Amino acid sequence: MPANAGAFVVDASVSAAWFLPDEADARTEVALQATATHDVWVPALWLLEVGNLLLSAQRRKRITADKRRELVAAASALRLKVDREPVSLIALDDIAARHNLSTYDAAYLELSLRRKLPLASRDKALQAAMQKANVSAAVLTA
């Protein structure tokens, strides 16, 4: 459970491990377990990223079509808070350019900044941007 026992944002680098077990570690498992009891936030972009992740995994023969459909259903059933507030492209562009991020990763940082929440990420560039932006890392310990 997160040490702060509160809400946090999770990015696709962490949640990918929820669906592809060979990418899982103790922290990703704790983040997954937290979805049942905590407010775990994702930007609406997360739905597209996870869908693409699973389709790509099938195309690379890491999973079958049946497994992909099973995992899509599992992802849809997760108790996640999907942020659907409109976000300005200008704001995302500014964050991405300022922190040398993709616009996709900037969406997670923007959500953390706007909601004043820690962020769980395994992405090194995003972690560096979090430090510069004074966004706390979600503390995920078993």
Q: Provide long-range contacts, Cβ within 8 A and 24+ apart, for 91-99.
A: 95/129, 95/133, 99/125, 99/128, 99/129, 99/132, 99/133
Which residue type does 116 have? K
Q: Does 142 score more than 70 pLDDT? A: no
Q: Does 97 score more than 90 pLDDT? A: yes
Strand order in the sheet with 81-83: 81-83, 40-43, 8-10, 119-120
Average pLDDT (50-68) is: 97
pLDDT of residue 141: 75
pLDDT of residue 139: 80
Determine the Cα–Cα distance for residues 110 and 105; give it in Å rounded to an integer.
9
- List the chain domain ranges: 8-132
pLDDT of residue 2: 39
Which homologous superfamily is 8-132 in?
Answer: 5'-nuclease (3.40.50.1010)
pLDDT in tens, 14-32: 999 999 989 999 999 999 9
pTM (2 d.p.): 0.91
- Category of 88 on φ-ψ map: left (φ > 0), alpha (ψ -120 to 50) or beta: beta
Helix, strand or coil, per DSSP, at residue 4: coil
pLDDT of residue 140: 80
Q: Does 109 score more than 50 pLDDT? A: yes
